[in-house]
């Protein structure tokens, strides 16, 4: 009997080609489109259409009520705390692959296949994710929070491919999604601004207001902490003789410290809810990304009890941000990752 694989089908070219590759390898393929929020009719329609073109079984599963709490509530709550969330990394662990794992079990499948641009490697008895071959599309950063049981069953057939190869092969196969445009935004914002989303979800009284602080002095009142992020320069509404940047946001007082660019740096970060192998040196050298669009930088990592860690950069980095994700690499392999608690 062929192994059964559940394909995470979004209706795009990556997931569609993933399904094709797994079918060609001889797996018993089932396509599944997860409904995370309302107004996803297009994704469901495209997922069904792609499955029909490939001649595979397909269905959709409704997780909208779970997603509201697992991701949207986290997104809102993090901004109210004066931090900046990373909904995609958070979703992969707590929502997307969590829901797919449930569906895999329900369908009696052996594994999950996804169109992410990342690789999977086995070191000793443990599975890890590594950088994808396409440096511009590599998504390993967003996968650093996944746990052992999730890593064991997930496969990435596109990990060794460039995006241009994927689109060319899809076109060669005559798949209708070959030229479909990709969405680069946070999915549930539907192309809108996150501030507008928060305004629609929140009572105005819940939006903490306070002061811009410079050199320890109150400078100007601001509109509310949800409208600002660490490292922000534009849109502050401050008239000053030099550019000012957001250095820190206090979720309790509502005060926001602003300063010159050189001061918006950190030597390191404290991280919580860290996911790392059970057997690892307590202190080790590595590289880290503290946001997706940055090259990994050298660092020292010290692992603490209770899934916490301290990461010290080789040199100060611009605007490390509480709430964001620190992804640690060793030789291009994701060794651990967690949520930034504070910057020092």
Q: Cβ distance 180 to 199 under 8 Å? A: no
C-alpha 160/C-alpha 177 separation (Å) is 20
What is the β-pairing status of strands 283-289 and 111-113?
A: unpaired
**Dihedral sign for Cα atoms in the order 138, 140, 143, 145:** negative
State the virtual CA torsion across 187, 192, 196, 197 in degrees, nearest 10. Answer: -20
Write out the two tokens for 273: 């809810």
* Placement of tokens 């590594």 in the chain: 130
State the virtual CA torsion across 10, 333, 186, 251 in degrees, nearest 10. Answer: 150
Active site residue 91: yes
* Placement of tokens 């798949």 in the chain: 175
Choose the catalytic residue: 32, 144, 187, 327.
Answer: 187
Write out the two tokens for 84: 């900046």
Choose the catalytic residue: 91, 144, 299, 327.
Answer: 91
**Dihedral sign for Cα atoms in the order 166, 96, 190, 195:** negative
Q: Cβ distance 92 to 147 under 8 Å? A: no
C-alpha 265/C-alpha 164 separation (Å) is 36
Please enumerate in sequence order all residues whose Cβ is within 8 A of that of 222, keeping only pairs 6 or more positions apart, or say none: 209, 210, 211, 212, 228, 236, 237, 256
Q: Cβ distance 129 to 24 under 8 Å? A: no
Active site residue 336: no
Phi, then psi, of 235 in degrees rounded to 5: 80, 15
Residues assigned a catalytic role: 91, 187
């Amino acid at each position: 009997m062929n192994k059964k694989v559940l394909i995470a089908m979004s209706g795009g070219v990556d997931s569609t080609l993933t399904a094709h590759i797994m079918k060609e390898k001889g797996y018993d393929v089932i396509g599944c489109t997860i409904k995370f929020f309302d107004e996803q009719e297009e994704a469901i329609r495209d997922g069904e259409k792609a499955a029909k073109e490939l001649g595979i079984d397909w269905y959709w599963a409704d997780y909208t009520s779970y997603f509201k709490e697992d991701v949207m509530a986290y997104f809102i709550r993090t901004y109210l705390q004066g931090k900046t969330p990373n909904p995609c990394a958070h979703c992969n662990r707590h929502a997307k692959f969590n829901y797919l794992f449930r569906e895999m079990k329900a369908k009696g499948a052996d594994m999950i296949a996804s169109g992410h641009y990342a690789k999977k490697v086995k070191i000793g008895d443990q599975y890890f994710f590594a950088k994808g071959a396409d440096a511009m599309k590599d998504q390993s950063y967003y996968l650093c929070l996944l746990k052992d049981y999730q890593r064991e069953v997930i496969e990435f057939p596109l990990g060794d491919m460039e995006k241009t190869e994927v689109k060319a092969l899809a076109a060669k196969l005559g798949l209708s999604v070959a030229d479909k445009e990709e969405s680069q935004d946070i999915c549930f914002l539907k192309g809108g601004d996150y501030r507008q989303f928060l305004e629609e979800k929140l009572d105005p009284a819940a939006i903490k207001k306070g002061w811009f602080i410079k050199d320890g002095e109150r400078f100007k009142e601001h509109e509310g902490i949800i409208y600002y992020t660490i490292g922000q320069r534009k849109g502050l509404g401050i008239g000053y003789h030099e550019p000012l940047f957001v250095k820190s946001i206090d979720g309790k007082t509502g005060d926001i410290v602003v300063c010159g660019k050189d001061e918006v740096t950190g030597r390191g970060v404290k991280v919580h809810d860290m996911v790392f192998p059970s057997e690892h040196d307590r202190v080790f050298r590595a590289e880290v990304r503290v946001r997706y669009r940055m090259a990994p930088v050298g660092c020292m990592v010290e692992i603490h009890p209770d899934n916490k860690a301290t990461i010290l950069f080789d040199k100060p980095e611009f605007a490390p941000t509480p709430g964001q994700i620190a992804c640690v690499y060793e030789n291009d392999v994701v060794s651990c990752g967690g949520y930034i608690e504070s910057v020092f």
